[in-house]
Chain A
Amino acid sequence: MAAAPLTPDPATLLPSLEPVQLLDNQGVLHEVDGYPLDLKDEDFRNLYRFMVLARRVDKQGINLQRQGQLGVYASLLGQEAAQVGGAYALDEQDWVFPSYREMGAALVRGVDPGKILQLFRGTWLSDHDPHATHFGLLSIPIATQALHAVGFAMGAKLDGKDLVVMSYFGDGATSEGDAHEAMNFAAVYDAPCVFYVQNNQYAISVPLSKQTKAPTIAHKAVGYGMPGYRCDGNDVLASYAVAKQAVERARAGEGPSLIEAITYRMEAHTTADDPTRYRTAEELAEWNARDPIARFETFLTKEGLLDDAFRAQIDDEAKAYAARMREEIYDAPHGDPLELFEHVYVEPPASYDEQRALLRRELEAQ
């Protein structure tokens, strides 16, 4: 008996064996079938601008932590291209559901970095309005935000709105049950959702080889009946082009996709981590040679898109960002303790009156 054809055909879902790369390590552009670049000069400049800003903001985050101004900070160094390229493929009405390392994506969405750092300072648990920038709250429990992304996308679909949701998570997150449930739900409901995995090689200290036996993370997509894509996550153009294709697919009602952007976390997991215990200087040097900004600079310079004036302009902007972050964070007082009771419930229980009164008495006694 001849086997009935499978739907969807698994062969159509498989990721390419080689990660998609448009810009090689030397900054030379190669055309790749199926991934046309629809970018204008201004877009190229903007991608560069966001990556440089992300790196400067990130450095400021680390410095503020070292100066005792932040309790902890999770660096994105090395992941600028993956983050910026992915988010740049979205339109204004689209949404991002991040984990806690997505400062680059946050900048693209227009989130004020000073607001995000309030979380790491401990002023409040989060301090930006997701509805203002369509950028979800930073999600610390691993992979949990992927389900919120899918639910949001299901809502948009139910509402008949043209809206795509991108969920960022990491290689380690793909081991969590919520990542599995999210991808399965998204596929079952054809939710307009893109799962954007930044494979930065480590979940704190545990390498990808101990995380999964799958040939690649992108191959997992086949199990859910959605296409998997792999790209060089240190190539901002590939990260953008692959994301763009997945976003357009979702927008056209063809359902979700899984992207694996292959990159590397150049810094420690957070400022509380010591990466010398689990990775070598050689490995670091190898990835340093694939720096996402350096190769894009080479390309832009060759294309005549990057001159001294533009560099100076971005440098000024980055400095201003960093200065504003210092200003907003440095010695920022903690919030009003009485606000602790303000947002837990819209309709708070009567016991809050007693507890608020107790705290007020404690404050007055200080």
Chain B
Amino acid sequence: MAITMAQALNTALHDAMEADDKVVMFGEDVGTLGGVFRITDKLQERFGEKRCFDTPLAESGIVGTAIGMAMYGYKPVVEMQFDGFTYPAFEQIVSHLAKMPNRSRGTVQLPVVVRIPYGGGIGAVEHHSESPEAFFSHVAGLKIVSPGTPSDGYSLLRRAIDSPDPVIFFEPKRRYWLKEDAELPVTTEPFGTAVVRRQGTTATLLAYGPMVRTALDTAKAAEEEGWDLEVVDLRTLNPFDAKTVVASVAKTGHAVVIHEAQVFAGFGAEVAAQITERAFYDLEAPVLRVGGFDVPYPAAKLEEFFLPDTDRILDAVERSLSF
């Protein structure tokens, strides 16, 4: 059956709430409306206003109260309406959600999931298309997850909710309508496991979230050039699966890391460094990064010039192969 990422995420929330009555869902417009992207559609209707509720418009308040509820014994799943509205919650996420379990010497656990629809490509106004995953990947104590397929959307979100550690769950909003033939419930690989989405020998494309689809499209297009590209879906940025990444690069000798976020100090820099440290002698060229330019996310009519696409990725592959 063809399911979309949005349906997979919605079903995951539904099934998690059904499986464990400690799971509660809250955020802006997630109740009556079902979320601006309808990811929480019908959850309030099914589970009542106590377990799925609208909050005042205050992101720090949402994450801060989620921490308190988790201390009490609940498993809150909260929604930041858009990537660019996450920043008011930054202090609660960085200073408490990530650090309190360690600060408490393990006496406090915070099984909180912060869902963030992220990335561009939907023609939105400013603050609605950002990719802030590098900020959070830099924080010890958080797990950083970003699914690239509906199956992973379901399975990784279920795992995130079951996780005893706090999880920042980045949902690739332009892939909410991406379809896949799958039956739910589905269980995919655990956190810390990257997956080779396409076997290849010429070079390795490393991607996560919205860029997994783009990488696969690029690999298809590259066939015309006679290139057989391997595509690795990282799935979780923390924990990071260095093993699968290194194995792929050892096979191809060429690595191109792709993300929507600006390249400078982006997560691709970490991937490049991991590969360089662990597979230096397997490399036939420097690890290249493909991403947005080092400028603020542009206005909607200009985003196609900012976002990495097949052409920009193929250009990088060519540079790598001709190094």
Contact = CB atoms under 8 A, between A and B. Distances in A.
Given A144-B91, A150-B68, A155-B74, A350 B239 contact: yes
B238 A349 contact: yes
A137 interface: yes
A344 B239 CA distance: 13
Nearest to A129: B107
A185 B55 contact: yes
A344 B60 contact: no
Nearest to B111: A346
A125 interface: yes
Does more than half of chain A's interface fall in helix, strand or loop, or is it mixed?
Answer: helix
A177 B60 contact: yes
Contacts of B74: 155, 158
A144 B141 contact: no
A181 B104 contact: no
Contacts of B101: 343-346
A347 B238 contact: no
A129 B101 CA distance: 11
B65 interface: yes
Contacts of A127: 105
Contacts of A158: 24, 50, 69, 74
A113 B138 CA distance: 34
Contacts of A137: 100, 103-104, 108
Interface in B44-88: 50, 55-56, 58, 60-61, 63-74, 76, 88
* Interface size range on A against B: 35 or more
The listed residue with most A CB atoms (<10 A of its CB), out of B24, B63, B67, B243, is B67
A130 B107 contact: yes
Contact of B69 (A129, A130, A151, A345): A151
A141 B103 CA distance: 13
A343 B105 contact: yes
A129 B191 CA distance: 29
Nearest to B24: A158
A155 B68 contact: yes
B164 interface: yes
Contacts of B103: 125-126, 137
Q: Which 10 A-B pairs have the closest CB atoms?
A: A151-B68, A147-B64, A155-B72, A151-B65, A181-B61, A349-B239, A346-B164, A152-B68, A343-B106, A148-B68
Given A147-B63, A347-B164, 13 more contacts: A126-B105, A141-B95, A144-B64, A147-B68, A147-B92, A148-B67, A149-B68, A154-B68, A159-B73, A346-B164, A347-B191, A349-B239, A350-B192
